[in-house]
Structure 1
């Protein structure tokens, strides 16, 4: 396989003469010509992006404006081997899958493997990481584990947002816009120097629309993307040897990603638009929309939708210590509150082989509804030293890091069986904390002007604590029933077979881990860099906190990874061509895999995450930019990956909590299939292996190991822009961008429903099932996501010196739809075509 990767690299290197351009660099100055340099902080110090031996995609503010990028979700279209999507339901939450590593879970006992940072401050929660880029200097996407310098939970990589600093003169801009679905936007920023050494920046944005989907049950317009935010930036030159950069952001996001369809579920012939059919309304209480079901707390009055409110405080105080050393005190505080109610079954049951097209029920309490009231806060402190030793022989960065995170999640799950019958599956408060200490050091040994060796390490000591309290009245009287979700009941009872004696579930986790990095880079001249590296990272463990019974709240352990990279970065032909290529191999042990299982008795979802398997991914990435003449810019980016799950060779049939291993599950599934049973069909007779072993976890309906999710073999983006001189200083700038990904699976078990009958041994009296899970017939719903091209385009008219700009742009201009994720066999689609007209004035 390595030979194939090297061959692919050599083939791709031939593309350096193509008219293409990477989507990651700002415009060149008129004096320089060609492709501009861009400074990044991927190694926690300022460096030219072409000098950093890491696979990086960096986007300047000008580049993002030219490509119509307004939030972090849209960046996923332009980075090789990055798949970015909204989570199911929650429009404020992005799930990033980078080189195959990602997570769709937002509850606070799960950590994402792709970290998000704002001005070096880590955002622990994935719940509100779809940041609006309204006052940003640049965004850096670091591919591969960043465990040495960025720490825990960066096994897949890191997305680092660097905010704009206040300028030295009074300046700024104002922008207004209008778009499809009644979208209105307003943005603005101003720099205010208060003295020669102190300045502030005030900025903000506001956006509102009426939603792109119609609820055919309630008549409401849904899936809007409303929100607003303000920011205060501070820059102070406190002394010739002391500087301070700080900021405060307040962001309110009300974006939704509610399950919707291209055709009306109540009238399948109507396919003009997007449709939702849940009976749960946006209008909340009091009285509670879930009555007579007793849901406790203020969440009892939540209507359909969500609101996430974030406050982010950053402070970086820098001191020059001597001639070659800088001390940085980096302090951060993040507060997040999130309130939501979502119906994940769309007011009815999920598609199955017995009922591939379930009828619309329109239950007023929803079909499977989760109501959530979360409060999350974190404090971080970092002490960082950057310096040089031995007259430039050694460059180093090192420091100490501390994080304290506190979460309170009050949530309830409801499952509706009929207009009058709704089951309260659980109503509990989860409190969990994380405290971690770390020390790190990375040093570059400059053996010559051309050759450099890098070595670094990080030591992390992390502790997590969990606390459950059941809100239900029967669990708060004089007795505590064994069904109450409370710390006192956190154990797996003995069952006489897989669990011989009751097994307590730990409420604390402690991990101490080293994450080293080794690299070598050779720079024969100013235009070429060759590098190779080996890096380790880890992702924290946690608990299955969506448990609806105490025995389901089992823990899962840390996920650990080694990544091996080799690459080349080049600026050629007087910086008219830039070509960066990387080959990589990712080896993950104890991969955390989230599985959603259907309860055969109630039909409700059960979520469980375990370290079910190991994982390997091998791939190639290329980013190429071409500027044949000033003002004309082409780019193309390629990503290829080939990944698979690896099963441990000596795993027992069940673990200490009685959970079946993948190997044992696979054997059970194949036995059931051999007996003529059909996944999704009846499980009789009881003496035969249960068919529930198929289409669950990472075992497919066909009795094979699943394809890892959101890892299309190919991802491609390409585009061009041209700044045409119109005379009198006016310019007209057309741009077009396209992005492609090949076929992928988006549900862990790869389960999809197909519209063709299937027969087996145990059939209903009425005959064979009308649908099947065996990839036979027309796709109905589920995991299958077909290849797709998405196109964006824009046209901007600039006044002399860009004093003002009029522009129009569209995203997903051809209105293509594809499956982004799936839950209970329902497929969640991407956003439809949207256009926006804008007017921007600069002063």
Structure 2
């Protein structure tokens, strides 16, 4: 019943707006020019961006920026964070397995799935921050454009933008009545609807309402339960914007963004079994089927009915069946954010800008990370909530001139809570040696406070030569409260009471739901309480040289920082909860932007070198009880160097060719001559003196950093008199990369009960791939009605976005298979 209601709502959103638009079309006055009510489409040379927190022509900005306009977003079906990553050269997206997206830009990223951690690529909507990655899932609708700023953006976009910043620019209220909608139907019974209405309220105010919704069936199929599907998408999102000019020098804009997502998290593909405790591998795992090169093949737990355990408390050592309950992947995530932007022009010379926002996010999430129908690494119910208040106040010169400047301050107060329930009842950690424990809980509470002051200036030294300098001081404090809980049937608490007793130190025995992690005295019961206090100074200096209106050369040296954070994990040792400290990236970049051949050709290029200090990464630790577990670590010294170029050619009216390429070379370096060593994803699997020992990571490439990534796009429009023919295609690809340090050297090992899929040689290598999208459409005369047939991944390329090892299993996450559909759209 709920599925039918969702589908009716999704189609109703679009149908209602289509009906309104059609009625308005019939009532148009005879002399009105329909084109006047449309947002003008401009070429790349005239795109306006706000990379420096003021409106500028894209070609006048001395930074590497990718901008995608509203028409391209709509026609290329760019509606998700995955789509954005595919369209921005150098930006990588990975599925974490826990519903938290991972962004990596030019090799700078944070491969971490905890909910309350800052990304290295900050995301904003109209300069309003979405500070944690999970909050970015449904902001890409009803947009005027997307701006992707590459390289450290710490001066104007905060301490956590070491890799870059993505700014969604939402469409604003209009001075005339405008409305429109589109409805799409595609593979997997996918129904998508978008609608907006924008209208003036008097002469100095306007309002805009936009809605987006999707409902689809699952695209993954179970290898052990024919007919069972996973991966269904079900969400609805809305944005309400109200703008008013109460006085000639005052502009106010209030925005409310809300969404609810009940989608099913993607299940992993099993590619290998490598148990924590090989001798205790349970029999069902020895026959669990592997995924195939069909991206739809996967498996996930619905209910586990054959778990064994020992009831130590009652002294009953017989083996019994245990039902774990419904563990099928599902979610219920709710987000709401309110923002107020106020601009006041002071004395015709200075603008005061204030941006205030508050958000609330709540989550119930069940995810399956092990790629099997067994309970090996299942999360659920994953409870979480985030509340975040942000305030920015800044002053800037009103009219662009020889000297342009901005000074301001930021304040953030964020509270995060995450409570993960991990079930591993079919795993080797549930064995006689651990008295058949089968569940643990991980609770992380963070109270985060940040404040910063910043200034940035640009001064034209002589005609065409501009000097730039900026800085930001940031002070951050993160008060944390972490606890690994002995939940479930109480066996974890029993086990750790036994272990605590072996320490010889006195302690109060713990009960179910108490903290079991062992403290420095080797006894359980204490919560891990800690405060991470840090400060830093980000800076940037640079020169822009514009020898002609069509050519810009720029050079920048900048440094940015990303705050430290605490992990969400289940560990026996409190040392695993130590946070990673702040990382820094010092960037050296030079580039150019050139409009050639009477602006029929746009050619941009840049070369860069990143000095990466204390890179944050999700690594591994050998736990004294649970063997190999995740942990957050700092890589002391590494670097990324590379170059990128993009070319756009418009040889004839209606025809456009685009091509882009990014080259990256990343490497872990020594730190004052000291090698960087530690356990790999398979534990201490390196040989030192003939015995297993820590691995030397020096020389390893960084995760999600392919040597080459590239894209080609073609757009063609031809006026047929009664309408326009629309043709387009996009190709994107990349060379191989790795999902973990030393990913190219980690191989499968011939250990007891180990097994792996025959088509995989290196478990943590992400193979190279090429994906092609295509579209064919017709726009009716006047531009009001349009029909588009489209396909994504039209050649059904099997490609991998992430690979990881969870307890006993090694898994992959894949990209979507071929999808196709048709879109009908209308606007007044």
When the two structures are superposed, what TM-score results if normalisation uses the length of structure 2? 0.82
Shift, 1:393, TM fit: 3.6
Q: Deviations over 1:144-172 (max 9, x none)?
A: 00011111110000111111101111111
Q: For residue 556 of structure 1, give the secondary structure of its aligned residue in structure 2.
A: coil
| 1:377 corresponds to | 387
RMSD: 3.8
Aligned equivalents of 2:482 and 2:513: distance in 1?
6
Against the structure 1 CA distance between its residues 490 and 327, is the aligned structure 2 distance closer, same or farther, given a 3 Å change threshold? farther
Equivalents in 2 of 1:747, 1:31: separation in Å? 45
SS in 1 for 2:720: strand
- Cα distance between partner residues in 2 of 1:553 and 1:269: 33
1:794 equivalent in alignment to 2:802: no
Asked if structure 1 preserves the Cα contact closer than 8 Å seen for 2:116 and 2:132, the reply is no
- Report the equivalent of 1:16: none
Q: Which residue of 2 aligns with 1:229?
A: 237
Cα distance 1:269–1:790, how it changes in 2: closer, same or farther (>3 A)? closer
Report what 1:585 is aligned to: 609
| Structure 2 partner of 1:673 | 687
Tell me the CA shift for residue 222 of structure 1.
0.4
Residues 291 and 297 in structure 2, CA contact (< 8 A), matched pair in contact too = no
Among 735, 755, 775, the alignment partner of 1:742 is 735
The 1:596/1:370 distance shift into structure 2, 3 A limit, reads farther
Task: Note if contact 1:89-1:258 (Cα within 8 Å) is conserved in structure 2.
Answer: no
Match of 2:533 in 1: 510
CA contact (8 A) 1:747 1:782 kept: no
Match of 2:11 in 1: none
Q: Which residue of 2 aligns with 1:70?
A: 79
Whether 1:447 and 2:456 are equivalent positions in the alignment is no
Q: Which runs of 5+ in 2 are unaligned?
A: 1-37, 273-286, 314-323, 498-505
- Partner Cα separation in structure 2 for residue 51 and residue 41 of structure 1: 11
SS at match of 2:416: strand
Change (3 A) 1:483 1:551: farther
Mapped pair 1:568 → 2:592: yes
Q: Of the candidates 76, 97, 106, which is equivalent to residue 99 of structure 1?
A: 106
Distance apart, 1:663 and its partner CA: 4.0
Name the SS for the 1:518 alignment partner.
strand
Query: Structure 2 matches for 1:289-300, cutoff 5 A?
Result: none
CA contact (8 A) 1:714 1:742 kept: yes
Return 178-187 or 606-615, whichever deviates more: 606-615
CA offset at residue 68 of structure 1? 2.4
Number of the residue aligned with 1:617:
640
- Residues 561, 602 of structure 1: CA spacing in aligned structure 2 closer, same or farther, 3 A cutoff? closer
Question: Are 1:544 and 2:572 matched, yes or no?
Answer: no
Partner of 1:11: none
State how far apart, in whole Å, the 1-side matches of 2:271 and 2:600 are. 44
User: What number of residue pairs does the alignment pair up?
Assistant: 737
Deviation at 1:749, TM superposition (A): 3.7
Task: Kindly report which structure 2 residues correspond to 1:203-222, keeping only aligned pairs within 5 A, or say none.
Answer: 203-218=210-225, 219-222=227-230
> What's 1:278 paired with?
300
Determine the structure 1 residue equivalent to 2:578. 554
Alignment correspondent of 1:434: 448
Separation in 2, partners of 1:221, 1:489: 38
Structure 1 counterpart of 2:421, from 405, 412, 422: 412
Alignment pair present for 1:157 and 2:157: no
Pairing 1:743-822 to 2, within 5 Å after superposition: 743-750=736-743, 779-780=760-761, 782-822=763-803
Deviation at 1:487, TM superposition (A): 8.8
Q: Is the 8 Å Cα contact of residues 278 and 366 (structure 1) preserved in structure 2?
A: no
Q: Determine the structure 2 residue equivalent to 1:715.
A: 709
Q: Distance in 1 between matches of 2:606 and 2:789?
A: 35
Shift of 1:664: 7.2
Moved more, 633-642 or 593-602: 593-602
Name 2:14's counterpart in structure 1: none
- Partner Cα distance (2:817, 2:621) in 1: 30
1:128 is paired with a residue whose SS is helix
Q: CA deviation at 1:370?
A: 5.0
Secondary structure of residue in 2 paired with 1:73? helix
Call closer, same or farther: CA 1:480–1:344 in 2, change over 3 Å: farther
Q: How does 1:6-405 map to 2 (within 5 A)?
A: 35-90=44-99, 93-218=100-225, 219-255=227-263, 256-260=265-269, 274-280=296-302, 303-347=328-372, 362-363=373-374, 365-369=375-379, 371-387=381-397, 392-405=401-414
Alpha-carbon contact 2:271-2:812 (below 8 Å) kept: no
* Deviation (angstroms), 1:492: 4.0
Residues 745 and 785 in structure 1, CA contact (< 8 A), matched pair in contact too: yes
CA contact (8 A) 1:50 1:529 kept: yes
Does the CA contact (< 8 Å) of 2:379 and 2:423 recur in 1?
yes
Query: Hey, what's the Cα distance between the residues in 1 that align with 2:105 and 2:302?
Result: 35
Q: Contact (CA 8 Å) 1:813, 1:834: kept in 2 or not? A: yes
Q: How much has 1:410 moved relative to structure 2?
A: 1.6
| 1:838 alignment partner in structure 2 | 823
8 Å CA contact 1:458–1:515 kept in 2: the answer is yes
Shift of 1:319: 0.5
CA shift, 1:305, in A, is: 2.0
- SS of aligned partner of 1:584: strand
Question: Is 1:706 matched with 2:700?
Answer: yes
In structure 1, distance between residues paired with 2:102 and 2:205 = 38
- The residue matched to 1:739 in structure 2 has which SS? strand
**2: CA distance between counterparts of 1:191 and 1:771?**
56
- Secondary structure class of the residue paired with 1:434: strand
2:482 alignment partner in structure 1:
468
Alignment partners' CA distance in 2, 1:272 and 1:565: 41
Q: Distance in 1 between matches of 2:565 and 2:348?
A: 45
CA distance in 2, matches of 1:293, 1:517: 62
SS state at 1:64 partner: helix
Measure the CA separation in 1 of the matches of 2:685 and 2:775: 56
395-404 or 270-279: which moved more? 270-279
Distance 1:196 1:291 in 2: 75
Deviation (angstroms), 1:465:
0.3
CA-to-partner distance for each residue in 1:301-338, whole Å, 9 max, x for gaps?
76422232111222111001112211111011121112
* Structure 1 residue 489, shift from structure 2 partner: 6.8
Match of residue 650, structure 2, among 627, 641, 648: 627
Asked if structure 2 preserves the Cα contact closer than 8 Å seen for 1:594 and 1:609, the reply is yes
Report if aligned partners of 2:621, 2:683 keep a CA contact under 8 Å in 1. Answer: no
Residues 487 and 158 of structure 1: CA distance in aligned 2, closer, same or farther (over 3 Å):
farther
SS across alignment from 2:207: strand
Greater mean alpha carbon deviation, residues 547-556 or residues 508-517: 547-556
1:342-397 Cα offsets, whole Å, 9 max, x none, are: 221123xxxxxxxxxxxxxx33x4544454100101000110111069x9342101
Whole-angstrom CA distance in 1 between matches of 2:612 and 2:76: 34
- Alpha-carbon separation, structure 1, partners of 2:581 and 2:159: 13
State the partner residue of 1:24: none
TM-score, with structure 1 as normaliser: 0.80
Unaligned runs of 5+ in 1: 1-28, 348-361, 496-502, 652-660, 677-688
Partner in structure 2 of residue 458 of structure 1: 472
CA distance in 1, matches of 2:310, 2:351: 60
The reply on whether 1:530 has 2:542 as its aligned counterpart is no
